[in-house]
Amino acid sequence: MVLHGLFVTFVCATLIYVLERIIHRRVYKAEKQFDGPPGYWFFGNSFDFINKSSKEIFDQVVENLKTYGNGRFYKIRIMHRLGIACSDHRDMEVILGSNTLIDKGVHYHFILPWIGFGPLTSNGSRWRKHRKIITPTFHFKILEQFIDVFNKNGAIMCEKMEKEVNGEPFNVYNYVNLAALDNIFESAMGINMNVQKNSETTYVRAIKEMCNVVNKRVFWWILRIYPIFRLSKYYKMQTDALNVLHSTTVNIIEQRKKELAVRKKLEKDDEKDEEIEFYQKKRMAFLDLLLESAEASNISDEDIRQEVDTFMFEGHDTISSGLSFALWALANNPDVQQKVYEEQMEIFGDSNRPPTFNDLQNMKYLERTLKESQRLFPSVPMITRKLNEDVDLPGGYHLPKGTNVGMIIYSLHRDPKVWPNPEKFDPDNFTPDAIQGRNPYSYVPFSAGPRNCIGQKFAMLEMKSTVSKVVRQYKLLPSPYEKHKLQLTSELVLMSLSGVHVKIQRRSNSFS
C-alpha cells in the first residue's frame, strides 16, 4: 500500500512537471541563455531568499552579478517566473529607453494599498495621462518658490544639530529624515507639520510603520501570499497606518479645495481686500496645482489623493537617503569638503543670508559632489520592470514577455568598465568632459527614459540647499569607530543598518 502511494505520488509529480515544462516552455528555453545560481527542479530559485535579511539579499544580488554572466546579468527563476538581474548600461538602455516597456515590476504591488495607481505604480494610458498632468507642476518657476521652504527647514535642522557639536558621532539620518518630511509636507500639501519639533506625530509614525510593512513584504516571500499576510501582525499595522495616512490626505485635500474655491470666487468678483491678498500671496503647493488641473482634466479626488500620497512616499525617504550619504561622504573626504566650503565662501562671503535660486544654480562643485554621492550611494539602488512584450538584448539574448527585469543601479554605478576607479569618491567623474565621454545610461540615479523621476530637479535643489546650510555652519568629521562602518542594504531606498554616523565642529566663521 505504501509503495502504491509512493508510485502514485511520483506519477502525479512527474505529470505536473511535464505539463509545467510544456505550458511554460518559452520561459525554460529563455532561461538556458543565462548563467546564474543553480535552482531546484520545479521550484527554481524559490528557496534562495528564505529566512534572509534585506542586507543578506542585497549582498547576494550584488555578489551574484560579479560571479555570473561576466558581471552583466544573471537569471533567477521562481517556479515558472523568469527574472533577470542586470547591471550593464547596454541592457539598461534597451529597457529604460523604451516607450513601451513602462510596466513596473511585481515589487511595486506592495505599495499599492498606500499610494494606489499614482505616477509611481500606474502603467499604460493611465500613467501617460497622469504624467502629462503633473509634469507642469515641476516647472522651474514653480520649484523656485520652494527654496524658502528648504532654507527654513534646513535652518531648523542645523539648530537641532547644534547639540552634537564637539560630541560623539551621531546618526545624521535622523536629522535629515525629519527635515525632508517637513519639506515634503509644505511643498506637496501646503501645510506645516513641524515634524522636526514634534517627531512623534501620528502621521510620521504611520509613514514609518507603512514603510516597514512594505519592506517586509518585499523581502519575506511568505508575506507576499495574501492569505498569510492577512493573518499576520503586519496586516493590522498596515490597516492602522493607512487609516491615518489616507484620512490625513483626504482632509487636507478638502481643506485646500475650499480655499481654492474662495480664492477663485474673490478673483471672479474682482475684490481687492485683505482676504484676496492673503490668498494671492499664499504659496501654491503641488496639491493646489493638481486641484487646478483636475477641473480641466477630469481627475477624481481619489486620483488626487494617490498623486499626493506618491509625492509623500517618494519625496522624503529618497531625499533622506541621498542627504545622509552625501554628508557622510563629505565627512570622509575632507579634501572634497574643503572645495565645497570654498565654493560656498565664493558665493556668500561673510554673509549669512540663505541661498537664492540663482545661488543654488551656481553651486557647480557641490552639484558634482552630490552626483558623485548618488553614484556610490544611489537613493534607489534597484528598480524593476515587467516586460509586456518580447525583448531582444544586445548580443543575441532574448527575453519573453512576462519576464521581470531587475536593474541594479548600485552595481551599474560601480562598473569598472565605465568608472576608472569605481570605489573612489571623486566629483571629477562629473566634469563636462567626463560626462561627455560616457553612455548616459551608465548613470541613472533617477532612472532614465520616459519613466525617469519627475522630481529629480526638486530633489537636487533640496539637497543643495540643505548641504549648503550644513557646510557653511559645521565642519563634518568621520566616525572613528568600526561599529559605525556603513552596512548597506536596500529597503525600498538605500539604507545603512548601522546608521550614517558623522561628527561635527562649529566653523570659526559660523553665524549660528
Three-state DSSP state, 448: coil
Q: Which residues of 178-190 are buried (b: 16+ CB within 10 A; e: fewer)?
A: bbbbbbbbbbbbb
What percent helix, strand, coil does the chain show, rounded to 5? 60, 10, 30
Dihedral sign, Cα of residue 423, residue 424, residue 429, residue 434: negative
DSSP letter for each residue of 21-77:
HHHTHHHHHHHTTS--S--BTTTBTTTTTTT--HHHHHHHHHHHHHHSGGGTEEEEE
Q: Which amino acid, one-letter code, is at 388?
A: N
Rounded distance, CA 35 to CA 318, Å?
A: 32
DSSP 109: G
SS (H, E, C) 294-314: HHHHCCCHHHHHHHHHHHHHH
Bridge-based pairing state of the strands 382-386 and 73-78: unpaired
Q: Identify each DSSP E strand in 140-237 by its residue range.
A: 170-171
- Look up cell 514634534; give the residue: 198
Angle at CA of residue 495, ends 413 and 312, nearest 5°: 100
Three-state DSSP state, 478: strand
H or E element: which one contains 491? strand 488-491
Three-state DSSP state, 99: coil
Cβ-based neighbour number of residue 60 at 10 Å: 15
Bridge-based pairing state of the strands 170-171 and 501-506: antiparallel
Among candidates 367, 364, 348, which has minimal Cα distance to 469? 348
Any binding-site annotation on 453? yes
CB of 180 within 8 A of CB of 199? no
Rounded distance, CA 487 to CA 497, Å?
A: 5
Among candidates 204, 213, 471, which has minimal Cα distance to 316? 204
Rounded distance, CA 190 to CA 169, Å?
A: 34
Instruction: Name 489's Cβ contacts closer than 8 Å, sequence gap at least 6.
Output: 53, 54, 55, 58, 495, 496, 497
Bridge-based pairing state of the strands 404-408 and 81-86: parallel
Question: Which residues define the annotated binding site for heme?
Answer: 453
Question: Which residues define the annotated binding site?
Answer: 453
